[in-house]
Amino acid sequence: MAAIMEARIDQEQIKKNGHGKQEKSGFPYAAKVFVRDSNAVDFPWKIAWNSETCIRCGACVATCTFDSLQPRLQRRGRSVSVGNLPRPAEAADVMIAVRQVNDLAHYCRGCGMCEKVCPTGSIRPVANGRNRFPVVARKGGSPIKRGGRAHLIPGRVLDSIKVGRISQMTDPSLDAARHTFDMLTALGRGLPADKLPLKVEDGRLVSTGWSPPMHWVYPILIGDMSIGALSWRMWEALALAVGYLNEEYHLPVRMCSGEGGMPVKLLTSKYLQYMIIQIASGHFGWNRIIKAMPQMVTDPAAILIKIGQGAKPGDGGLLPAEKVAEHIQAIRGVPHADLLSPPNHQGLYSIEESVQKMFLSMNAAFQFRVPVAIKVAASSTSVSVFNNLVRDPYHIVGGFFMDGIQGGTGAAHEVNLDHSGHPILSKLRDCYLDAVAQGRQGQIPIFVGGGFGETGNLAADAFKAICLGASGVFAAKIFLQIAGCVGDEKGRCNACNTGLCPVGICTQDPSLVARLDVDAAAQNIVDYFLAVDQELKKLMAPIGNSSLPIGRSDALISMDKAVADRLQIGYAC
């Protein structure tokens, strides 16, 4: 029950303030204010609607997946002329108006779909910077949940870094259009040269035994997003794009399945070679994967053991029941319920153990033919974790994936999203330099994610990370954005947890999923990759390199002294 406070304001007060309105009757003006009822001021977005230009087509109301808009009848007074000798009189019309719904279940996410569909440009969401959302949204004792990305990251370090060492005379720049660029990176455990199983026979080196599996892949991977978090059509668009890039353009882009399995058809097709299968603490989908193994015609590109995620480090996966549709239940082998992955792999209590148990069993499952990598959230302790893996005596750790605070998620508690996590660049640098100090750089390739491509410029972000020591990067949100996601870092949409994604990307509701055109999304992703490939070359050419400049931090400068010092690159102003 909403509490009502009646505020009586006496005449004195009205006079004093000068802004009161005295009723004709002479009674003091009385306002009834429902102070604890939610109101438009409470929410992050306010709808601006223009009654004059609106043609009442209803498109906005029908489009809003959050039911944040309601049609309502509105009485409108107007002056008319009446009588033979016209005299003014008051009349009223009843007409349809569009009203914003201001309750926690239906508040506006600012997704802008209403604006997109309005034929007369009569409606749009306006950010309400001074909202009270954080203080009203924990109703019923439940923490705020959200999808998408963190909102409280100050500045963007990647943009303070520039490629400052340009080849000019003694080491000429290359021609991005003419020279051959060799832009692949190794995914898999590398042995030091003196440990390679090679011997000289007739003046040639020949292999004498097993060495860890390794694939040369494109240095930008599509990060782990599950079918479940994503709609099946979005996932399909990604898989299609990856297939197309590989088959038609010979760009060996790899994509990670996310936790939640894959369709059996894909598992048993040749396209499995482009997929990195993820295993996370919930082991969702692995029943099917294991059952499909005898039918697999090729190996997957890699296995990724997910320990943590940058957007919500220390927290497990969360797929709200709203998104656990029938096909998700089938792929994952679960009932209709909230699906929570535990924060850690049950039974793994130390890195040493994880190497022995998890890595060995995953390696063994694919008979040591498939690189097995690990994904962790960046943290103050990343170097120790990395170090333990670098010392792996069995040479079975095939990659170190580190995810920073700017990573995305399908669903998380806002408190984690906005307040926990570690930026990626300094940890990337620390881990790489630690490997350098041991002379082991490249033996466990470092792949980093979390905010790469956030501004749309994935090539530049990836290039800088590579110069800082990454063997490659993984990106995810950017590909959703290319497919039509309207979310951003400043609070637009980010409703991925609701199952009501307005563009059909992360929902399992068939009517919403229908909004996504799979082929167009896949085409956009392919186009984007092709452009990124050109842009990467356009960055490599001026520094005179045709191979990936992994660890070539001398190519970078920062215009921020603190950043330059922390990352051990040159400062320039």
Residues of the shown chain interacting with ligand SF4 in the complex, contacts defined by CB under 6 A? 45, 47, 63-64, 66, 68-69, 108-114, 125, 147-148, 480, 485-487, 493-496, 501-503, 505-506
Residue 436's binding partner out of ligand SF4, another protein, none, with CB under 5 to 8 Å set by partner kind: another protein
Cα dihedral value 492, 496, 502, 508, nearest 10: 180
> Which lies closer to another protein via its Cβ, residue 327 or residue 552?
552
Q: Which is nearer to another protein, 205 or 290 (CB)?
A: 205
Residue 154 or 393: the one with the smaller Cβ distance to another protein is 393
- Number of residues interacting with another protein: please give it, by CB under 8 A: 44
Q: Examine residue 174 and tell whether it contacts another protein (CB under 8 A).
A: yes
CB of 61 vs ligand SF4, minimal distance in Å: 9
Other C-beta atoms within 10 Å of 474: how many?
A: 27
Stretch that binds another protein, among 336-344, 348-356, 359-367, 540-548 (CB under 8 A): 540-548
Instruction: Using the minimum distance from each CB to ligand SF4, give the nearer residue, 238 or 496.
Output: 496
Tokens of 471: 């063997």
- As a whole number of angstroms, the distance between CA 60 and CA 46 comes to 14
User: Minimum Å distance from CB 505 to ligand SF4?
Assistant: 4
| Alpha carbon of residue 439 to chain centroid | 34
Interaction of residue 554 with another protein, rule CB under 8 A: yes
Cβ-based nearer residue to another protein, 354 or 553: 553
Name which of ligand SF4, another protein, none residue 439 binds, using a CB cut-off of 5 to 8 Å depending on partner kind. another protein
Q: Other CB atoms closer than 10 Å to residue 468's CB: what's the count?
A: 26
Nearer to ligand SF4, 98 or 390 (CB): 98
In angstroms, the CA 98 to CA 47 distance is: 9
Mention every residue, 6+ apart, whose C-beta is less than 8 A from residue 106: 66, 67, 68
Distance of CA 510 to the CA centre of its chain: 22
Check binding of 399 to another protein (CB under 8 A): no
Residue whose C-alpha is closest to residue 535's, from 116, 242, 183 = 183
Smallest separation, CB 198 to another protein (Å): 6
68 binds, among ligand SF4, another protein, none (CB under 5 to 8 A by kind): ligand SF4
Q: Which does 547 bind (CB under 5 to 8 A by kind): another protein, ligand SF4, none?
A: another protein
> Per CB under 8 A, does 83 bind another protein?
no
Q: Which of 549, 557, 563, 564 binds another protein (CB under 8 A)?
A: 549
Residue 442 site contact among another protein, ligand SF4, none (CB < 5 to 8 Å, cut-off depends on kind): another protein
Of residues 251 and 506, the one with the C-beta less far from ligand SF4 = 506
Helix segments in 324-472, DSSP class H: 326-332, 351-354, 360-365, 382-390, 414-419, 424-437, 458-467
Closest by CA position to 230, among listed 305, 110, 323, 331: 323
Closest CB to ligand SF4 among 100 and 354? 100
Closest C-alpha among 459, 460, 461 to residue 451: 461
- Crossing angle of helices 424-437 and 382-390, in 10° steps, is 40
**Quick one: tokens of 307?**
């320990």
Determine the interface stretch with another protein among 40-48, 76-84, 170-178, 304-312 (rule: CB under 8 A).
170-178
Q: Least distance from C-beta 69 to ligand SF4, angstroms? A: 5
Spell out, one character per residue from 192 to 211, where the chain touches another protein: x when CB under 8 A holds, - when not: xxx-x-x-x--xxxxx---x
Which C-beta is closer to another protein: that of 382 or that of 441? 441
- Report, in angstroms and rounded to the nearest whole number, the Rg of the chain calculated over CA atoms: 29
φ/ψ of residue 561, rounded to 5: -60, -40
Pairing of strands 339-340, 5-8: unpaired
CB of 484 to ligand SF4, least distance (A): 7
Q: Which is nearer to ligand SF4, 467 or 480 (CB)?
A: 480
Whether residue 422 contacts residue 404, with contact meaning beta carbons closer than 8 Å, is answered with yes
Give 127 or 205: the residue with its C-beta nearer to ligand SF4. Answer: 127
Q: CA-to-CA distance for 494 and 411, rounded, in angstroms?
A: 9
Among 171, 338, 353, 527, binds another protein (CB under 8 A): 171
The C-alpha angle 44, 46, 52, rounded to 5 degrees, equals 170
398 within 8 A of 371, measured Cβ to Cβ: yes
Residue 145 found at the interface with another protein (CB under 8 A): no
CA 109 to mean position of chain CA atoms: 17
Shortest Å, Cβ 424 to another protein: 21
User: Is residue 249 at the binding interface for another protein, with CB under 8 A as the rule?
Assistant: no
Amino acid at 505: I
Is 333 buried (19+), middle (13-18) or exposed (0-12) by CB count in 10 A?
middle
The Cα 37–Cα 14 span in angstroms is 26
Between vectors from CA 456 to CA 118 and to CA 492, what angle results, nearest 5°? 45
User: For ligand SF4, which residue has the nearest CB?
Assistant: 487
Q: Does 22 bind another protein (CB under 8 A)?
A: no
Nearest to 539 by CA among 166, 110, 271, 95: 166
Q: Which of residues 274-333 bind another protein (CB under 8 A)?
A: none
Instruction: Please name the amino acid found at residue 238.
Output: L
> Which residues of the chain form contacts with another protein (CB under 8 A)?
167, 170-172, 174, 179-180, 182, 184, 186, 188, 190-194, 196, 198, 200, 203-207, 211, 214, 216, 436-439, 441-442, 543-547, 549-554
